[in-house]
Amino acid sequence: MQLVMVTLTTSTLRRALDLQERIESLQGELTRLLGKNVSLTGFVSETVSVTGPRRRGRKPGRSAKKAAKPGRPAKKVAKRGRRKKRTSPFKGQKRPSSPSGPLAPAVHKVMKRAGGPLNVNAVLQGLKQDKYVWKVSEPKKNLAARIYTMPGVKKVGPGMFALKK
């Protein structure tokens, strides 16, 4: 059995108490309707727990065979294969470089020429003016992702970047 720590507020406790009182009054009404000698064991629970949400299913780390209840067949568990690890197509080889050189120096050149903060679109336009050759299908997304971690470049505002001094 696993204990769950729950932080209860006074309003939550008040609601739980109101529900408990309502359940007891309904059980009393049920007894008056059906009589004292009728047992509804298995149909109506006697107590209500307010300690936390019920966990469904088997406990973590427990196999489906062990979690099966007596008299019921064990559920089949689908094998969860590991995801195929992505590998670079250039593994073990030198990566091809852009004919116009690495990206970081090209971005530095564009920012130096501008003299002030630029957004990703402005840097991309400057790279196009310098005829930077991209090896990716979506240059704007690539530049937007890489500019945050580029050495010598800092974020100076929402979507604005400048050279570090």
> What's the mean pLDDT in 114-123?
90
- The answer to whether residue 66 sits within a structural domain is no
- The answer to whether residue 64 sits within a structural domain is no
- The answer to whether residue 71 sits within a structural domain is no
Longest dimension (CA), the chain: 93
- Using pLDDT thresholds of 50, 70 and 90, give the confidence band for residue 91: confident
Single out the residue of 110, 112, 114 nearest to residue 130, CA to CA: 110
- Among 15, 34, 51, where does a domain finish? 51
pTM score, whole prediction: 0.43
So what's the pLDDT on residue 7? 73
What does the angle CA 105 – CA 111 – CA 116 come to, to the nearest 5 degrees?
A: 155
So what's the pLDDT on residue 27? 85
- The answer to whether residue 83 sits within a structural domain is no
Number of domains in the chain: 2
Identify the residue with better confidence: 39 or 127: 127
So what's the pLDDT on residue 41? 60
Predicted confidence (pLDDT) per residue in 22-45, tens digit: 998 888 888 888 877 766 665 555
- Domain residues for the domain of 113 are 103-163
- The answer to whether residue 135 sits within a structural domain is yes
- Among 19, 35, 51, where does a domain finish? 51
- Among 29, 51, 73, where does a domain finish? 51
